[in-house]
A and B are shown apart, each in its own frame.
Chain A
Amino acid sequence: MRKLLLYLVPIILFTNISYALIEIDITEGNREPLPLAISEFFHDNNPEIINKKITENIRTVISDDLERSGLFSSIDDKAFIQNNRSMHLKPRFADWRLIKAQGLLTGELAIEEDRLRVEFRLWDTFAEKEIEGLVLITTIDNWRRISHMIADKIYERLTGEEGYFDTRIVYVAEEGPKNKRIKKLAIMDQDGANHKFLTSGKELVLTPRFNPVRQEITYLSYFKNLPRVYLLNIQTGIQEVVGDFPGMTFAPRFSPDGGKIIMSLAREGNSDLYVMDLTTRVVERLTDSPAIDTSPSYSPDGKRITFNSDRGGSQQIYVMDSNGRNQKRISKEGGNYATPVWSPRGDLIAFTKFYQGQYFIGVMRTDGSGERLLTENWYQEAPSWSSNGRVLIFYRETKANDAGDGHSSSIWSIDLTGFNERKIITPVDASDPSWSKLIQ
């Protein structure tokens, strides 16, 4: 990935004190989306901007990001009363209120020394003032990331939470019949753009996960028919096996500082949890039970680990200290539980639940209380959190008929509130999604 050249220059805000009327409480759930007017970004008839359709593109990306969050709706520009460049300096707030816009985004573009200068302002049409503004300067081809960053700024300003649009998803792309499935690692922007396959499909690959701090992925590969945990550097494409283990290693995840990988090692039919320091290569064993211990995930402070075990006779969720001490079951509502993942906010654990023949994605507090099931289906599993802990992505499969046809697999997203369930469009079938942190 090309290094992003970017300068952030805050526009002088008229005030730092917020009197904004437009604030969204995103814990509320199924609220009406907040109507925003997202204007075109004006410029001095720059031919390059016109040729590359940068104005239209930026507006589309921002508006799609915000609409997909379920929290905002974008007002059709045909309804705009004020439609000239003056709005960027002095919006006629009454005109915008008339078309029910509670917020207004305006912007200007320029090319300066082969760089794209993007300036935007977010206006509160009721308080009649600018509530956010920024100048971003970057290479021209970076208009897409700039758009995601602007969408993040708007989301952040209006919800009080960090945005999650300038992020990527790595997942397993699936093709072919169910009994001869070809699986490849693939990566894309959170909105499906910039899609790229990372492996050829020659080897079976599963469960990719992002390093929270580096452009790196850990995953399971069946290279040479030896299922082992691997590391892939996204920038260089270099892959390496993690450690030298005498059995299958699987279910890898990074520690929050990106310096360790926690995973399962299967040995003589028994799977336990191990952690490997990627710098010193020192391996430490964390669990030692005759049961299956797998799907480990660190708390964001790195002090605790949640994992899946059937040591009590059925699959349940456990937590322990990161040195393996104080192992304790937390799931308690009945049914089987799997794939616990700790929220980046630290307060919740998302999981897969299997109960009475159906699969659920849900969340519970870290002591197992307050369980909430967000979605129920024939088959779904493997939630992954958005960087701000407000949205989960997971994969869902459809049932095959007796001839084995009709099976498909795709990635879905759902809000923590249980609302705004959406399918994420991918070029081929998809599973095992992992959502990155905000790109640095």
Chain B
Amino acid sequence: MVSTFQNYTRYLVIVLFAMFLVACETVPKESATSTSSTSSTAAVEIKDGVYVGSDTVEMLAIDVPDRIFFAYDSYSLTKAAQNTLEKQAKWLKANGSVTIAIEGHADERGTREYNLALGDRRANAAKDYLMTQGISSSRVTTISFGKERPVNSGSNKKAWAQNRRSVTVRTN
């Protein structure tokens, strides 16, 4: 009935092309340097709209963070995100029986339906990168929660940056 789904390679090409396009365009950035919360740490927590701190981050194993962060309305992977995903790939290779789900999330500053699509983009951006690192797609499922499951309930730039994320969770 839905025969169009057979051609997976075509989709992958489209996804990679779309990632290339996004990487080329100027993504609207939020004013990056200031966090509106009165955090006692002087360290910069948001760089170019992407959260770079360690609050909310959990570990899948020692030195294997479970999540990566994104800029506003973006699904391109930062160097730090790629670095985290490489650690996850290494851990997955060392633990061949582990299967995972990647949850894609958005912040609250977007319409519900668009954010569901954006969360799906983010989860798949992470999945695609794991695949380039040699992880079989059969071990990875994705799910988008859009803006439905924020990790930080605040309405400020730091909360939004922490909520723009994809999180890798074990499914077995």
A residues contacting B by CB (< 8 A) are 177-179, 181, 183, 204, 206-207, 220, 225, 227, 243-248, 250-251, 264, 266-271, 281-283, 285, 290-292, 294-295, 308, 310, 313-315, 338-339, 352, 354, 379, 381-382, 397, 399-405, 407, 431-432
Given the complex, which residues of B lie within 8 Å of A227, measured CB to CB?
Answer: 116, 143-144
Stretch of B41-49, B62-70, B152-160 with 4 or more beta carbons under 8 angstroms from chain A:
B152-160
**Is the beta-carbon distance between A178 and B150 smaller than 8 angstroms?**
yes
A-B contact pairs, 13 of them (CB 8 A): A204-B148, A206-B112, A248-B120, A266-B120, A268-B8, A269-B18, A282-B1, A292-B118, A294-B113, A295-B114, A379-B109, A402-B156, A404-B152
Query: How far, in Å, is A91 (CB) from chain B's closest CB?
Result: 51
Given the complex, which residues of A lie within 8 Å of B144, measured CB to CB?
Answer: 227, 248, 266
Query: How far, in Å, is A381 (CB) from chain B's closest CB?
Result: 5
Of the candidates A225, A283, A402, the one having the most CB atoms from chain B within 10 angstroms of its own CB is A402
User: A248 to B112, alpha carbons, bound, how many Å?
Assistant: 14
Given the complex, which residues of A lie within 8 Å of B143, measured CB to CB?
Answer: 225, 227, 248
Partner of B2, one of A206, A245, A248, A404: A245
Query: How far, in Å, is B19 (CB) from chain A's closest CB?
Result: 9
Query: How far, in Å, is B15 (CB) from chain A's closest CB?
Result: 5
User: A269 to B144, alpha carbons, bound, how many Å?
Assistant: 10
Stretch of B77-85, B86-94, B122-130 with 4 or more beta carbons under 8 angstroms from chain A:
B122-130
Does B12 sit at the interface, judged by CB under 8 A?
yes
Does B14 sit at the interface, judged by CB under 8 A?
yes
Known contacts A244-B1, A248-B120, A270-B15; is-contact A294 B114 (Cβ 8 Å): yes
Given the complex, which residues of A lie within 8 Å of B95, measured CB to CB?
Answer: none
Partner of B117, one of A204, A220, A266, A399: A266
Query: How far, in Å, is B90 (CB) from chain A's closest CB?
Result: 23
Known contacts A244-B1, A283-B2, A402-B156; is-contact A269 B37 (Cβ 8 Å): no
User: A362 to B59, alpha carbons, bound, how many Å?
Assistant: 45
Query: How far, in Å, is A110 (CB) from chain B's closest CB?
Result: 49
Chain B 99-112, CB-CB to A under 8 Å as 1, else 0, gives: 00000000011111
Of the candidates B12, B112, B153, the one having the most CB atoms from chain A within 10 angstroms of its own CB is B112
Q: Which of B24-58 contact A (CB under 8 A)?
A: 25, 28, 36-38
